[in-house]
Amino acid sequence: MNQKTVFKKKGREAALRALVRVEEDGAYLNLALPALVKNMDPEERALAVHLARGTMQRLNTLDWSVSLFSHRQIHTLTPWVRNLLRLSAYQLIYLDRVPVYAVVDQAVHLARRFGHRGVAGLVNAVLRKLAREADSLPWPERKQDPLQYLSITYSQPQWIISRVIERMGLERAEQWCRSNLVIPNLSVRPNQMRISPQELVDRLETEGFQAEHSRRVPGLLQLTSGGSPASTGLFKAGLFSIQGESSALVAPLLNPQPEEMIIDLCSAPGGKTTHLAELSKDRGLIYAVDLHQSRLQMVKKAVQRLKLQSVKTLLADGRTITGDNFSAIAAAPAAVLVDAPCSGLGVIRRLPEIKWRRSMQDLSGFQELQAELLQAAARLLPVGGRLLYSVCTNEPEETGQVVERFNREHQQFTLQKVPALLPAPLQREQENQYTASLQPDLHGLDGFFIAVWIKER
């Protein structure tokens, strides 16, 4: 057995271990994988990441395909065997360059390690049948059953698809589904207090990365090739942050100024907090609030890495926070950012685990939390204060309904025209002239929603 074959087995095992961790521990792939692949060569590491990610993205489709050839229902199997079948089915259906014998043989090998002889026989039989029929699976017909067609073809939960069809119609719903299978490039935000975007492009190139200026978000860079930017000396030196394009649009809409006090009510992991500090030239006062010490520690690490002096952290529940929490400060905040906890359904192309964890019942619970956070923020602001609400979702319960509710209960606040403040390419296809809705199929961005108010009286 040559070294390359050993590495390939290690890569598949790492992908399997990550998938089991996601299922059993509620982990996220982007957090579970690095420790599992850190000692692998780049090619094998990339394979492990691709297999784990692709399998998680296509989960329900893979379960459907396995069920066609198995006498055992997939939910009755152990997490190890269940995810091994999913991982192998992904390779057989979606990866043309992987030889069938390699997929089956290595799956049987892993089945023996994490199961028993009988399970290995089951895995072998199911995968050999699937391999023979992979090019002629009975995919659902679009005309006969549009809901099942979109769900299985594009790997989305049916409850999400049903809502998308209701809001958008079938044609656009299919575009939405297709766009959510496209994994976007990573984007990075230069710390412009220390380096210009073009300087960062040049320095990233010396470390093996290709970067280009974002066409949609001024000042942001997109990485088109390279490894992990977080492992570079440039990142560790605080010259940039890793941040999605939609997320990077939020802080500038508050127009932070030097000497202003701004409160970020749900600050972890710190991307928007540090952006606010950089935009105010690190001469303001940014309070980073979070409920959990472990998450607040992430903010502190980001602040230290970027060498920012204007950020103070506060461990508190944003829903019950009052001015007393900031009693050492004479002035009231000029602005409050509520980047609220949400369903996260706008970022499922990056974090596919989310779509399998959420249910429609979750949305009303998120709305209550979001409304409570906005109510707390409203109490903190003086006349003239600015309030920004953002969530990485486009679900009505967490977007338009939250805004309508806040408007009814806080008539002293006036909604601002956010779309007109966006970069020109993002002003098209907006639902109304007041709130911004960014969508993967229309804008090529993560799904995001943004609203801004001014307290008039």
Q: What is the pLDDT of residues 24-68, one digit of tens each?
A: 999 999 999 999 998 888 888 889 999 999 999 999 999 999 999
Is the peptide bond between 269 and the residue preceding it cis, with omega within 30 degrees of 0?
yes
* pLDDT over 60 (residue 1): no
* pLDDT over 60 (residue 124): yes
Give the pair of three-digit tokens for residue 202. 């040049």
* Mean of the per-residue pLDDT values of the chain: 94
Residue 228 has a pLDDT of: 87
* pLDDT over 80 (residue 375): yes
* pLDDT over 60 (residue 4): no
Residue 276 has a pLDDT of: 98
The CATH classification of domain 246-455, taken from the options 3.40.50.150, 3.90.1150.10, 3.40.605.10, 3.30.1440.10: 3.40.50.150
Question: Where in the chain are all domains bearing CATH 3.40.50.150?
Answer: 246-455
Q: Interior CA angle at 212 toward 209 and 218, to 5°?
A: 135
Tell me the backbone φ, ψ of residue 313, rounded to 5 degrees: -100, 150
| Superfamily of 187-242 according to CATH | Sun protein; domain 3 (3.30.70.1170)
The amino acid sitting at 335 is A
pLDDT band, very low/low/confident/very high, at 97 (cuts 50, 70, 90)? confident
How many Cβ atoms sit within 10 Å of the Cβ of residue 376?
Answer: 20
- The mean pLDDT value for 103-119 works out to 91
**Single pTM value for the model:** 0.93
Residue 295 has a pLDDT of: 95
Residue 434 has a pLDDT of: 97
Residue 3 has a pLDDT of: 37
Closest by CA to 9, choosing from 131, 111, 124, 126, is 111
- The mean pLDDT value for 374-403 works out to 97
- The mean pLDDT value for 156-179 works out to 97
Residue 151 has a pLDDT of: 98
Residue 391 has a pLDDT of: 98
Report the percentage of the chain scoring pLDDT > 90.
88
Residue 428 has a pLDDT of: 86
Residues 412-433 pLDDT 10s: 999 999 999 999 989 988 989 9
Contact between residue 254 and residue 386 where contact means Cβ atoms under 8 Å apart: yes
Residue 212 has a pLDDT of: 96
pLDDT band, very low/low/confident/very high, at 139 (cuts 50, 70, 90)? very high
Contact between residue 187 and residue 215 where contact means Cβ atoms under 8 Å apart: no
Active-site residues, by number, are: 392
- The mean pLDDT value for 175-193 works out to 96
418-449 burial code (b ≥16 CB/10 A, e <16): bbebbeeebeeebeeebbbbbbbbbbbbbbbb
- The mean pLDDT value for 196-217 works out to 96
Residues 6+ apart with CB under 8 A from 426: 216, 249, 419, 436, 438, 443, 445
Residue 280 has a pLDDT of: 97
Residue 5 has a pLDDT of: 39
Residues 6+ apart with CB under 8 A from 235: 229, 242, 305
Residue 76 has a pLDDT of: 95
The CATH classification of domain 3-136, taken from the options 2.60.120.10, 3.40.50.300, 1.10.940.10, 3.20.20.70: 1.10.940.10
Residue 371 has a pLDDT of: 98
Lowest mean pLDDT among 3-17, 295-309, 316-330: 3-17
Residue 10 has a pLDDT of: 87
Residue 8 has a pLDDT of: 60
Give the pair of three-digit tokens for residue 210. 């290709």
Residue 135 has a pLDDT of: 93
Contact between residue 337 and residue 261 where contact means Cβ atoms under 8 Å apart: no
Residue 329 has a pLDDT of: 56
